[in-house]
Amino acid sequence: MRVLSGIQPSGSLHLGNYFGMMKKMIEHQEKEELFCFIANYHAMTSVSDGKALAKGTLEAAVNFLALGLDPEKSTFWVQSDLPEVQELTWILSTFTPMGLLERCHSYKDKTAKGIAASHGLFAYPVLMAADILLFQSEKVPVGKDQKQHVEVARDIAIKVNNHFGELFVVPEPEIDDEVATVPGLDGQKMSKSYGNTIDLFLEEKALRKQVMRIVTDPTPVEEPKDPDKCNVYKISRLFLDKEEDAALRRRYLAGGMGYGEVKEELFVRVRDYFAPYAARRAELAADPDGVRAILAKGRDKARYVANKTMRKVRKKAGLEY
Ligand code: ADP
Ligand code: TRP
């Protein structure tokens, strides 16, 4: 099974990115044919500072590799290293009805939050469809917020296939219900644009500070508490197995447990969970050329597959004469 997903290098990574997408991707490399890339063209819709984009791109690669993405078991590259994707974007855009893009929540949400309503932001799902279809991807693991974009890619694939004959594999989103939406400190979706994240690879002090900021209700310590209404619990359960989860729920329901106590436990869990990856991350960060070499190899592997698709597409579209 061919699995593909991308992540934007537009800021530091948080638990939502990790549990919503990165962790699943890293697990997939063991059994599936994994394609994973840094979506830096997409990030340009929100990052216009070139230096910040370049730095973020390298950092995202370092983080993914440190967390266990293995470039030998997968194909791992930077989106803009394969400009073929732009050619496909144009071709697909000529098949994309305006209405399909006008219905996209992400565009509406982002412009409502003040991100400039550029053509790039509007056409973002077409570029994403090109990412997916260029590699004939079957499964696309994403958080719930990206589901609609994968559906747009499906619609475009079906439309082009109907027109030209079978050209593209029609992809399916893969959304893990358990972690469909990781809540942030305030209970909304964890997102860097809401400033409610718990970030990966923070210094202890900064990490504790973020965890302590999780919003809780004023129920007194001695009273029973509803775990399902508690942001600390909802985040904690990402780190727990079934038994630990049941034990924590019992403590909530029994009363006599304060939110400070569970926050402290969560802080320790997050710290200890990511600690083993920190050394590898430091090593990679100290060797940017080594990371660039890994990405260049990934680009070549990806290009081989992309070219196979593009040869067929160009022919069907009449771009070869
Ligand atoms: P952000 O919302 O912080 O800007 P991105 O849009 O860059 O995050 O998301 C990168 C990946 O991480 C996507 O696959 C997205 O679905 C996933 N993701 C982001 N936030 C969450 C979340 N809170 N819960 C689950 N998945 C998430
Ligand atoms: N839009 C995705 C996000 O913000 C990133 C992305 C770009 C992507 N291209 C993709 C995800 C293709 C899956 C497949 O998270």
What is the per-residue pLDDT across 107-155, written as a single tens digit (0 to 9) for each? 998 899 888 899 999 999 999 999 999 999 999 998 888 999 999 999 9
Q: For ligand 2, what atom is nearest to the CA of residue 141? A: 13
Residue 226 inside a domain? The answer is yes
* C-alpha to C-alpha distance for 88 and 83, rounded to whole angstroms: 9
Residue owning tokens 């969970």? 273
- Let me know if residue 54 belongs to a domain: yes
Q: How many CA atoms lie within 13 A of 89 on its CB side?
A: 18
Q: Which amino acid is it at 109?
A: D
Rounded-to-integer distance, Cα 169 and Cα 167, Å: 7
In a domain, 210, yes or no: yes
Residue 189 placed within a domain: no
* Same domain? 276 vs 294: no
Identify the pLDDT of residue 193: 79
Tell me, rounded to whole angstroms, the distance of Cα 146 from its chain centroid: 9
| Cα 121 to Cα 107: distance, rounded to the nearest angstrom | 7
Pocket test for ligand 1, best of 145, 189, 231 (most atoms within 8 A of CB): 145
Q: How far apart are CA 222 and CA 92, in angstroms?
A: 60
User: Which atom of ligand 1 lies at the shortest distance from residue 146's CA?
Assistant: 16
Q: What is the pLDDT of residues 194-242, one digit of tens each?
A: 899 999 999 999 999 999 999 999 999 999 999 999 999 999 999 999 9
Evaluate whether residue 119 is within a structural domain: yes
For residues 227 and 260, membership in a common domain is answered with yes
Look at residue 180 and tell me whether its pLDDT is greater than 80.
Answer: no
User: Which residue owns the Cα nearest ligand 2 atom 15?
Assistant: 7
Ligand nearest to the CA of 60: 1
Burial letters 250-269, b for 16+ CB under 10 A, else e = ebbeeeebebeebbebbbeb
DSSP readout, 182-242? -B-TTSSBP-GGGT---BTT--HHHHHHHHHT-------TTS---GGG-HHHHHHGGG--H
Percent of the chain with pLDDT over 90: 90
Ligand nearest to the CA of 124: 2
Instruction: Identify the pLDDT of residue 252.
Output: 96
Are residue 74 and residue 172 in the same domain, yes or no? yes
**Per-residue pLDDT, 115:** 84
In the three-class reduction of DSSP (H, G, I as helix; E, B as strand; rest coil), residue 25 is classed as: helix
Cβ pair 212, 180 in contact under 8 A: no
Ligand 1 mean position, distance from CA 191 (Å): 6
Which pLDDT band holds residue 83 (cuts at 50, 70, 90)?
very high
Residue 179 has pLDDT above 80, yes or no: no
- Cβ atoms of 294 and 251 within 8 Å: the answer is no
Q: Indicate whether 159 and 205 sit together in one domain.
A: no
Band the pLDDT of 11: cuts 50, 70, 90.
confident
Shared-domain flag, residues 266 and 292: no
In this prediction, residue 176 carries a pLDDT of 82
Same domain assignment for residues 164 and 31: yes
Residue 214: give its domain's CATH number: 1.10.240.10
- Distance in angstroms (rounded) separating the CA atoms of residues 64 and 140: 17
Q: Which of 35, 146, 191 to mutate to test the pocket of ligand 2 (most atoms within 8 A of CB)?
A: 146
CA 218 to chain centre: 34
What pLDDT is recorded for position 62? 97
H runs (alpha helix) in the chain: 15-17, 23-28, 40-43, 50-66, 84-93, 98-102, 105-112, 119-134, 147-164, 204-212, 231-236, 242-254, 259-285, 288-317
Please indicate, yes or no, whether residues 32 and 119 belong to a single structural domain of this protein. yes
User: pLDDT (tens digit, 9 = 90+) per residue, 225-236?
Assistant: 999 999 999 999
**CATH assignment at residue 47:** 3.40.50.620
What is the pLDDT of the chain when averaged over all its residues? 95
Is 49 in the same domain as 133? yes
pLDDT for position 135? 98
Tokens of 236: 């904690």
- Ligand showing the shortest atom-to-Cα distance for residue 10: 1
- Of the listed ligands, the closest to the CA of 132 is 2
Domain that residue 65 falls in = 2-181+287-317
Residue corresponding to tokens 């029994």: 254
∠ CA(234), CA(236), CA(237), 5° rounding? 70
For helices 105-112 and 119-134, give the axis angle rounded to 10 degrees.
140
Same domain, 252 and 273: yes
CA 61–ligand 2 middle distance (angstroms): 15
3-state secondary structure of 1: coil
Side chain identity at residue 71, one-letter code: P
Shared-domain flag, residues 250 and 303: no
What is the total residue count of the chain? Answer: 321
Domain-embedded: residue 101:
yes
Residue with tokens 């509406």: 108
For residues 66-88, average pLDDT: 97
- Count of domains observed in the chain: 2
- Name every protein residue with a CB atom under 6 angstroms from any ligand 1 atom: 7-8, 16-17, 20-21, 142-143, 145-146, 179, 181-182, 189-193
19 belongs to a structural domain: yes
Considering the domain architecture, whether residues 149 and 220 belong to the same structural domain is answered as no
At residue 181 the predicted structure's pLDDT band, cuts being 50, 70 and 90, is confident
Sign, CA dihedral 246-247-253-259, equals: negative
Quick one: 312 and 228 in the same domain? no
What is the pLDDT confidence band of residue 192, given thresholds at 50, 70 and 90?
Answer: confident
Asked whether residue 191 is assigned to any structural domain, the reply reads no
